[in-house]
């Protein structure tokens, strides 16, 4: 499985914005996402998938290129 480079890039943006734990990322609101510098609609979709995978305990599978 190839690494999901887009998800890694977005995850870096999220981490740089101060959301550094699974709990913080899961609790992000739309306002939180929109306040991240340089965020795009595609990035928000990736954050949404990331949140779903955190809740399903499948973060490594998702970042490794797996599907939701």
Of 63, 57, 65, 28, nearest to 44 by C-alpha is 28
Round to whole Å and give the CA distance between 65 and 47.
Answer: 15
pLDDT of residue 64: 73
21 φ/ψ sector (left φ>0, alpha ψ -120 to 50, else beta): beta
pLDDT of residue 68: 46
Round to whole Å and give the CA distance between 60 and 13.
Answer: 18
pLDDT tens per residue across all 68 residues of the chain: 577 789 889 999 999 999 999 999 999 999 999 999 999 999 999 999 989 988 888 877 777 776 54
Domain ranges of the chain: 5-63
pLDDT of residue 1: 57
């Amino acid at each position: 499985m190839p690494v999901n480079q887009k998800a890694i890039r977005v995850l870096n943006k999220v981490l740089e914005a101060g959301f550094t734990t699974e709990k913080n990322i899961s609790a992000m609101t739309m306002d939180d996402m929109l306040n991240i510098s340089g965020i795009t609609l595609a990035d928000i979709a990736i954050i949404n998938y990331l949140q779903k995978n955190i809740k399903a305990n499948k973060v490594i599978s998702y970042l490794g290129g797996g599907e939701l």
